[in-house]
């Protein structure tokens, strides 16, 4: 009989499904109904999953989620980074165009290796830091749970960004370029033979600091995104509980609330994502905007944003002047879908993986002390 995962396995606080006070054994009894207005149960240290399990489960969930949505992320990156290529203007035609011209793996999944190499450690770092901070603040310092989740999420993003940003720089450039000597992305500013060549070329020609281009902008995007995502998720989940008449939500409803929260948060933070992409894909080969009147050739218009756009305000101002307010929402369609589906998949797989890891740990403990 297949296992049914209900809301008890996907709590807002990412508390493992087997959290029960005063016990270390895992039971499969249906949890007692909890009033929607009742505050969450405090974490009990004896029943919490080991931090290493949280990191492994989070890394796996993030890796699968990123893999499933990478092609849409490529479309979003092309829309944000190649704004003068009209064939990428609309999401579905752009998806079909990339597939027909460049193929699935070399086109839509360009930059995938870099994405996965950064996905597992960054997500593992997030969940490890999140769980450790949350437990310390709630159990040791007796702080408010909502406040603890918020701070834990911020610190989790900070820890994650150390791994995420360098891989994001490589990923976005390889996504923008596509395959080596790609005739369909001429003017993008890059022509790397692969991931290794990109790392070597960037290190030699632009310096190691280039791998952290857009670091500040990434934090400006991710911190508000996380805060909005969990605020929306809490509200949507409460509405779902009221509609369902029970805290035990089916997986379909859990996925729907997670997708709605992630998608809406992703939509609202799209301008910050556009700024990050423009800065990370900057080649530094163009002159500043002050000399645009004397060097505004058609080829220069095809290039990506110049490195003087390192300032968030300058980047936003430049986007608004050249593309209007809609320019700040380039790629909003793919980002809405990507953040929604990726978030729901990651959270569900995180809980399922964590449950399996804890079950394996219990079996090992029982065999050890038998």
Per-residue confidence (pLDDT) for residue 39, from 0 to 100: 41
Number of Cβ within a 10 Å radius of residue 181: 9
Number of Cβ within a 10 Å radius of residue 290: 8
pLDDT band of residue 21 (cuts 50, 70, 90) is very low
Number of Cβ within a 10 Å radius of residue 369: 6
Stronger pLDDT, 284 or 87, i.e. the higher one: 87
**pLDDT surpasses 90 at 231:** no
pLDDT in tens, 132-164: 998 999 899 999 877 877 788 788 888 999 998
pLDDT band of residue 92 (cuts 50, 70, 90) is very high
pLDDT band of residue 71 (cuts 50, 70, 90) is very high
Nearest Cα neighbor of 50 from 11, 16, 12, 27 is 16
Nearest Cα neighbor of 272 from 233, 315, 309 is 315
* Alpha-carbon separation of residue 153 from 249, 259, 336, 343 (angstroms): 24, 18, 21, 14
Q: Of 42-56, 146-160, 303-317, which one has max mean pLDDT? A: 146-160
**pLDDT surpasses 70 at 59:** yes
What the block records as the tokens of 197 is 């060549």
Measured distance CA(366)–CA(364) in Å, rounded = 5
Measured distance CA(168)–CA(41) in Å, rounded = 37
Q: Are 106 and 68 in contact (CB under 8 A)?
A: no
Per-residue confidence (pLDDT) for residue 284, from 0 to 100: 52
């Amino acid at each position: 009989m297949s296992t049914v995962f209900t809301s008890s396995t996907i709590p807002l606080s990412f508390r493992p499904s087997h959290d029960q006070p005063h016990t270390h054994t895992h039971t499969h009894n249906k949890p007692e109904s909890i009033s929607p207005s009742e505050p969450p149960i405090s974490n009990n240290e004896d029943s919490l999953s080991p931090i290493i399990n949280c990191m492994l489960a989070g890394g796996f969930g993030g890796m699968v989620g990123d893999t499933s949505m990478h092609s849409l992320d490529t479309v979003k990156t092309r829309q944000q980074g190649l704004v003068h290529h009209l064939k990428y203007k609309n999401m579905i035609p752009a998806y079909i165009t990339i597939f027909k011209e460049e193929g699935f793996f070399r086109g839509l999944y360009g930059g995938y290796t870099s994405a996965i190499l950064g996905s597992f450690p960054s997500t593992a770092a997030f969940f490890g830091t999140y769980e450790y901070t949350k437990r310390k603040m709630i159990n040791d310092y007796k702080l408010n749970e909502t406040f603890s989740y918020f701070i834990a999420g911020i610190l989790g993003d900070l820890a994650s960004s150390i791994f995420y940003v360098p891989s994001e720089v490589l990923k976005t450039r390889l996504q923008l370029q596509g395959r080596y000597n790609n005739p369909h992305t001429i003017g993008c500013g890059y022509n790397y033979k692969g991931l290794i060549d990109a790392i070597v070329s960037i290190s030699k020609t632009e310096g190691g600091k280039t791998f952290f281009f857009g670091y500040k902008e990434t934090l400006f995007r991710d911190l508000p995104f996380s805060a909005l995502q969990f605020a929306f998720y809490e509200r949507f989940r409460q509405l779902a509980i009221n509609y369902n008449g029970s805290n035990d939500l089916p997986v379909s409803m859990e996925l729907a609330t997670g997708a709605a929260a992630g998608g809406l948060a992703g939509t609202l933070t799209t301008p910050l994502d556009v700024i990050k992409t423009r800065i990370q894909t900057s080649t530094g080969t163009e002159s500043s905007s002050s000399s645009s009147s004397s060097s505004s050739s058609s080829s220069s218009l095809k290039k990506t944003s110049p490195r003087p756009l390192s300032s968030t305000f300058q980047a936003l101002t430049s986007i608004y002047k050249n593309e209007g307010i809609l320019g700040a929402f380039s790629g909003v369609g793919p980002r809405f879908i990507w953040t929604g589906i990726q978030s729901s998949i990651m959270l569900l797989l995180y809980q399922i993986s964590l449950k399996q890891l804890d079950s394996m740990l219990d079996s090992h403990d029982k065999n050890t002390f038998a």
